[in-house]
A and B are shown apart, each in its own frame.
Chain A
């Protein structure tokens, strides 16, 4: 069939183009403007369609699917509300660089602009929250646009794209063109290999470093497994300490000897102190987000900074770098490892003093918390969950809030693509649909959404989807009855006036699970927790685990807003008074 042109309807083209781009699963919801495509879906068996309960769920499922497989996630929704409901997931994917191809139905071309039923300006609405988008008005352009959509979503810095297809175009007949290895597009040419001279200069700088620090991010995961392998090799060769952003967890194993823990607002003391005091910083596939840097004018003041990124706009955006290397992390790391091997015989003795300092910071034990034998501490719950699942084939997703930070702090990730979380946008409601997407791609794996009691209620309707497709996702809710992170910030910033952050009416999660046809488990005693978690793991159906935890625990350590890396609030110093005065008037205005 390759190279041959075929006549078919627009709806047939959509299915053909998806198959030709290697798609096996799509997440969607039917509606008037996509009925022709749904009719085609009904008549084939190559592509499995997962029927969601809300289009936002479809978007997050596609994100989880993409993040755990490295392949693009595909979404199919109708016009108007179908398209607007998926916007949150598109922006989420844009900020976290997740490849999503979203196909939206549109009213017939003759009705566009007439305020027709279920019409919205989909390309207008999604323009700022996609990497690129198209409205296809000519059926003969449809196959080319879909192939281009896959290319743009998956190459360069990955991201979401939208293809808006009017209903008359789905019915119209035209010529289908298969994907071509020759790229016609001239304007979009992402650069993958880095400038060798700059890489050489970076290696030289690194070789002379006395206090080096590697700061890696989600770009390493996006670049593929090879990149994570090369990162490990680089750390091994250089003996540099390594920290990572929330998005980059798993690229370097948490059990690795150079691992410092996550950095940033809720990162470890040692990671943040080392970032502050280092003399050479190697930023690999991260973007100096405000959750990472803290106060910018005090961010790592004495270091030379090397930044490897595939997106030219990320380099020098927030922090001025000394050597900016534009290229794909995997390619650049390959060159870097090769040059390091060629030029340097490992002499890690010059790092001895640095490692001694780091071990002192580590000894502060910044993730410590006060154990409690009557009440489950949220940190303890994550630790037990980790211990009981670490030897299995496990994938973890999260919602957004305290539970997300505790999961990042206490769950050790050994491999890339095992950790799905909403980093940039911070979308409550992300974790559960994302877990379903992961489970669709990995049917036999253990997939757990670590959730909060507030977040989980934002996309809880997808329980119905999980049950329908027999996807045994486990929802592990750290239930403290509060929007915990909101409450923590109200305590820090607003005199502990807990405005609307307490949920007085909480569903009975066990009954809720049962109502959907899943299994509910409740646990509120530390000494029963292990057995309860084991029951959850052994249950072959979707489970909602209502883990009742200490209501007022705070997430520490923390860089209060407006403060620098070396100005952290540590758990043992966080008295009520210290917490109340941690943030000054200037910091209060920050998010």
Chain B
């Protein structure tokens, strides 16, 4: 979805970056003020970083704080740069690399969930099969008539991907996904 992965921002970095890019999930706590999302995504596009998934919503209404969850792929060096650049944005309160933090807390990885709405149209055997599979995936039917279903499915990204690919031959017509919401296990806060 974004610019080519770059090892660094400098034209003079003529050595190949030896470290491999890793996928990390960042939680960014920001003041919910006009333009704050533009500042964050403008930073990513302006400096050539990747955004693989982005989720935003106000989480603390009284304090006007929003939580932005970004999944990005970068080498460890660039990741540190992304964190530092995000922290420089004035309305940013905190930036946490959930992937790093979960390891520090002694867990394998952060909890990551996504919600998708999937519309499938069809009749006959395909329709029956779609409903049966949806049941197997614990997807809810939230709208239906004799020719279509809209399923609501929540889970890991891999589960949603799999569900969508199974639905394709059965009459898939529309998908909407929320992007990833993520949090670390354990009793402590962000």
Question: Which residues of A approach B to under 8 Å, CB–CB?
Answer: 123-124, 127-128, 131-132, 135, 152, 186-188, 290, 293-297, 311-313, 315-318, 320, 562, 586, 589-591
Contacts and interface: CB of A to CB of B under 8 A. Distances in A.
Contact of B90 (A188, A293, A313, A586): A188
B159 interface: no
Contact of B91 (A187, A297, A317, A591): A187
Contacts of B91: 187-188
Nearest to B11: A590
Contacts, number: 68
A318 B80 contact: no
A313 B11 contact: no
B14 interface: yes
A311 B15 CA distance: 25
Nearest to B84: A313
A296 B13 contact: yes
B12 A294 contact: yes
Nearest to A320: B77
8 contacts: A123-B35, A127-B42, A128-B46, A188-B90, A188-B91, A312-B84, A317-B84, A562-B14
Contact of B11 (A124, A131, A290, A312): A290
Nearest to A289: B10
B88 A127 contact: no
B12 A295 contact: yes
A296 to B, nearest CB: 5
Given A127-B42, A188-B90, A318-B10, A296 B35 contact: no
A131 B92 CA distance: 13
Contact of A311 (B8, B88, B93): B88
B42 A128 contact: yes
Interface in B2-31: 8-15, 30-31
Nearest to A562: B14
Given A290-B10, A290-B12, A590-B12, A127 B84 contact: no
A135 B13 CA distance: 38
A186 B81 contact: no
B contact residues, range: 20 to 34
B77 A316 contact: yes
Contacts of B84: 312-313, 315, 317
B187 interface: no
Contacts of B35: 123-124, 127, 135
A317 B9 contact: yes
B15 A186 contact: no
Nearest to A589: B11
Given A316-B77, A316-B80, A296 B12 contact: yes
Contacts of B58: none
Interface of B: 8-15, 30-31, 34-35, 38-39, 42, 46, 77, 80-81, 84-85, 87-88, 90-93
B81 A296 contact: no
Given A127-B39, A316-B80, A317-B9, A297 B14 contact: yes
Nearest to B91: A187
A186 B39 contact: no
Given A187-B31, A297-B13, A312-B88, 15 more contacts: A128-B42, A187-B92, A187-B93, A188-B90, A293-B12, A294-B12, A297-B14, A297-B15, A312-B84, A313-B87, A316-B77, A317-B81, A318-B13, A320-B77, A590-B12
A244 B128 CA distance: 75
B38 A124 contact: yes
B13 A187 contact: no
Contact of A296 (B10, B46, B90): B10
A457 to B, nearest CB: 29
Contacts of A187: 30-31, 90-93
Contacts of B92: 187
Nearest to A186: B93
Nearest to A318: B10
Contacts of B9: 317-318
A127 B15 contact: no
Nearest to A291: B12
A590 B11 CA distance: 6
Contacts of B38: 124, 127
A123 B39 CA distance: 11
A131 B90 contact: yes
Contact of A152 (B13, B46, B80, B90): B90
B10 A135 contact: no
A312 B10 CA distance: 17
Contacts of B11: 290, 589-591
Nearest to B85: A313
A293 B8 CA distance: 14
Q: Which of B12, B31, B38 has the most chain A CB atoms closer than 10 A to its own CB?
A: B12
Contacts of B85: 313
A157 to B, nearest CB: 8
A132 B92 CA distance: 12
Contacts of B39: 127
Contacts of A312: 84, 87-88
B63 to A, nearest CB: 9
A295 B91 CA distance: 36
Contacts of B88: 311-313
Nearest to B38: A127
A317 B7 CA distance: 11
Given A124-B38, A187-B92, A188-B90, A295 B14 contact: yes
B14 A586 contact: yes
A276 to B, nearest CB: 15
B65 to A, nearest CB: 9
7 smallest A-B Cβ distances: which pairs? A313-B84, A297-B15, A132-B90, A187-B93, A290-B12, A312-B84, A296-B12
A562 B14 CA distance: 8
A166 to B, nearest CB: 13
B36 to A, nearest CB: 10
A50 B91 CA distance: 33
B40 to A, nearest CB: 11
Contacts of B42: 127-128
A320 B12 CA distance: 14
Contacts of B12: 290, 293-296, 562, 590
